[in-house]
Amino acid sequence: MDSRSQAPYKSSSFSQATTRDDGGRTREVDRNFSLGAVRNKRDHHHHGGARELAIKEEDEQEEGEGTASHGRNGGDGAGSAGGKRGDPDLAALSAEIDAFIAGQDGDAPVTVTEATLEKFASAVELVVARSEGAEDKWAAEASGEPSALLAAITRIAALASVLGKSPEGGGKHTAAVHRVTGVLHRAMAFLEDEFHALLEDPRVPKAANEQGAHEPDRCVLPPPPSDASAGGGKEAAPPYPPETVDRLRAMADAMIAAGYTTECTQMFLVARRNAFTAALQGLGYEKSNIDDVVKMTWEALEAEIVTWTKAFRHAINVGLSTEHDLCTRVYASRHAAVGRGIFADLARCVMLHMLSFTEAVAMTKRADDKLFKVLDMYEAVRDASPVIEAFLSADEPGADRNNSALTELKAEIAAVRSRLSETAAAMFRELEGSIRADAGKQSVPGGAVHPLTRYVMNYLKLACEYNSTLEQVFREQRRHDGGGDGDDNPFSAQLMDVMELLHGNLETKSRLYKDPSLSNIFLMNNGRYMLQKIRGSAEINAMLGEAWARKQSTNLRQYHKNYQRETWSRVLSLLRDDGVLTVKGHIQKPVLKERFKQFNAAMDEIHRTQGAWIVSDEQLQSELRVSIAAVVVPAYRSFLGRFSQHFSAGRQTEKYVKLSAEDVETIIDELFDGNAASMVRRRT
């Protein structure tokens, strides 16, 4: 699509010349020409040679008429000095025109003849006609001066501007003035075509093919180390080679000097906007409307956010700096303000459209699992603010910052950051809602770690990798709610709330078990998992603090004691001589037999039930077994030593003394591995 179709209709900004009508009244010379009409007229000439011939014939006719007219008017003939039948002497004519232009600033303005104006206009028109199709038409002269074509266009633009203010343009040489103005418009139409062609030159590498390095998305696998930069600090290849930039600058100078600022800026803006869009498309980013985004599945939207984040960082860290540099080089010196305006409009146009994607994401249903992608977007937008501020600071002190498109963009970035901050805070708080909603009445088999515990702790571990960002988010929300800044970390407080909420939820779930011992195993498993996750992450450990870890360790010790009391205190009571086994120095054999029977049954029950219980943490499993064995095995060995000899060898011993001390130790070592089994009958 021809990008120029989006540029506004041409309306010359020259100072309007005046002339006299037949009634002696002053009227303005209409300088509003349609460039499209000029192009159409020019396009009727299919061959440059035919057009040059027509211009030559017209020039020869005008030269003769001008001389005759000048003679009739009693002129000095200076306008035709050096003239010949053939090409006009552009160098001599240019010298006269330059003198005329320069002389307008003096006390005695220099005049110019109508013939000179006519011949100069024809000469410029001939130069333009001959340049069509030429490869080196914009090449600078050997002396470093601009090309003859560009110099001629610049000179006739300056002449037209001066004629609008001088007596020659006010009615003295009306026909010649119109001739100059017409040639200027045709020259500008030609220059506009050339400017556009140079901007869209297919020989210039397109930005869309430059796959620069970018910061990896934080929630995906990182790319190879060579691609691990964010784009900031990596300079993209210039969109045009230096010689092309020089030609663009010369053309822009000529168009702006002739009053064609609107055409020049709009053409440049559209071309660079298209190039910028192509670069983003090369990164996989495609524009989406809000309705489409809101309707996406989370899996699809997640992929879109990854692409958006990469493209946005590229736009901020690479794209804008490249365009700023190009605008500065093409619109330099006295036209620097024009370049700043183009860049500001380009930045606002491209970035506002990208920022609209964040609004669509913020409108989707909030869920805690979406937090991290939203935080990636928040960080990208947050990091854009200083970049835009740097561009604003680069403006000249006299630039109007309040009305700048960059100021508007900066304000929109701040607003988007605020919306994303609110969304991220709400999504984190959704975690609390998820914990409260998990009130299932079904216990976890074997007292294992509950899925909620795993989810919450893994979630918090990842959240703490964004701890500085989440601290910013919650500080912003606290200020928004009127709570001020404060010295404490608001995210740390949120983290504490979640941990307390999870702890309370687990306490409630532990009561689903009918066996108090299993309740304590469940609390030990989940508490140990939480503690291991905290100590295994420097970020979350720093956020919760050592005091919280010590409190959790204390809770674990208490669960351990509760378990041993509930399970093993009754077993140990069977191994005590509490005055029932021995009466007046005599062993009460029936009581002794019952004690051994009860101990065997208790160990069989413990082995059968607690062998199916699960303690997945090997260290905790080992600690439990060691602590149990340290109490039970010595007590049983002592009990055997005192009372086993009171049974007669043979069948009686086999009937009551079924376990050795080593058997008891083996049973204990088989607890908590998730395998249900009955105790094997063993002989002492």
Indicate if 319 and 251 belong to the same structural domain.
no
Instruction: Indicate whether 672 belongs to any domain.
Output: yes
CATH of the domain at 659: 1.20.1280
Q: Tell me how many domains the chain contains.
A: 4
Indicate if 610 and 533 belong to the same structural domain.
no
CA distance 213 to 210: 9
Q: Which range of residues forms the domain containing residue 639?
A: 576-683
Of 543, 573, 603, the position where a domain reaches its end is 573
pLDDT at position 205, please? 47
Backbone φ and ψ of 28, nearest 5°:
-85, 145
Cα dist. 436→444, 451, 463, 498 in Å? 17, 14, 19, 10
Question: Which segments in the chain show pLDDT lower than 70?
Answer: 1-87, 106-108, 140-144, 166-172, 202-236, 395-403, 483-487, 579-580, 583-585, 648-650, 652, 676-684
Indicate if 567 and 584 belong to the same structural domain.
no
Backbone φ and ψ of 220, nearest 5°:
-130, 170
Indicate if 292 and 414 belong to the same structural domain.
yes
Sequence-distant (≥ 6) Cβ neighbours of residue 88 within 8 angstroms: 59, 63, 119, 120, 122, 123, 126
Token pair recorded at residue 128: 């333009």
Indicate if 111 and 244 belong to the same structural domain.
yes
pLDDT at position 175, please? 82
Instruction: Indicate whether 377 belongs to any domain.
Output: yes
pLDDT at position 399, please? 56
Triad 386, 389, 391: Cα angle to 5°: 115
Indicate if 157 and 299 belong to the same structural domain.
no
Cα dist. 573→76, 380, 517, 603, 648 in Å? 139, 66, 17, 13, 25
Residue 70 backbone zone (phi > 0: left; psi -120 to 50: alpha; other: beta): alpha
DSSP assignment, residue 402? Answer: T
Is the Cβ–Cβ distance between 535 and 550 less than 8 Å? Answer: no
Instruction: Indicate whether 329 belongs to any domain.
Output: yes
Instruction: Indicate whether 81 belongs to any domain.
Output: no
Of 573, 604, 619, the position where a domain reaches its end is 573
CB atoms < 10 A from the CB of 224, how many? 8
pLDDT at position 220, please? 35
Indicate if 442 and 569 belong to the same structural domain.
yes
Nearest-Å Rg of the Cα atoms of the chain is: 45
Token pair recorded at residue 154: 């610049």
pLDDT at position 153, please? 86
Indicate if 509 and 466 belong to the same structural domain.
yes
Instruction: Indicate whether 40 belongs to any domain.
Output: no
Indicate if 377 and 297 belong to the same structural domain.
yes
Instruction: Indicate whether 61 belongs to any domain.
Output: no
Instruction: Indicate whether 33 belongs to any domain.
Output: no
Indicate if 538 and 649 belong to the same structural domain.
no
CA distance 309 to 589: 82
Q: Give the DSSP H/E element, type plus range, for residue 586.
A: strand 586-587
Of 540, 573, 606, the position where a domain reaches its end is 573
Indicate if 378 and 504 belong to the same structural domain.
no
Cα dist. 129→46, 248, 250, 255, 615 in Å? 11, 20, 19, 18, 91
Instruction: Indicate whether 156 belongs to any domain.
Output: yes
pLDDT at position 617, please? 93
What whole-number percentage of the chain has pLDDT above 90?
A: 45
Indicate if 93 and 242 belong to the same structural domain.
yes
